[in-house]
Amino acid sequence: MSPHGVQLSIERGMAAGAPRRADLLDSAFGVYVERIESLWAAFYPEAVRGNVKAAEVCRRLLAQMGDLYGLVQRGRVPDEFPPVAPGGPDALAEWRANRLKRPS
Q: What is the pLDDT of residues 26-60, one digit of tens each?
A: 778 888 889 999 999 999 999 999 999 999 999 99
Same domain for 54 and 103?
Answer: no
Same domain for 8 and 51?
Answer: yes
pTM score, whole prediction: 0.49
Tell me how many helices (H) and strands (E) the chain has. Answer: 3, 0
Same domain for 11 and 61?
Answer: yes
Same domain for 93 and 63?
Answer: no
56 is in which domain, residue-wise?
3-72
Residue 86 has, within 13 A of its CA and on its CB side, a CA count of 0
Same domain for 37 and 65?
Answer: yes
Same domain for 56 and 93?
Answer: no
Q: Which of 61-65, 80-84, 100-104 has maximum average pLDDT?
A: 61-65
Same domain for 26 and 44?
Answer: yes
Same domain for 89 and 68?
Answer: no
Q: What is the pLDDT of residue 13?
A: 80
Same domain for 62 and 29?
Answer: yes
Same domain for 68 and 88?
Answer: no
Same domain for 68 and 93?
Answer: no
Distance CA 95, CA 79 (A): 12
Q: First and final CA of the chain: distance in angstroms?
A: 50
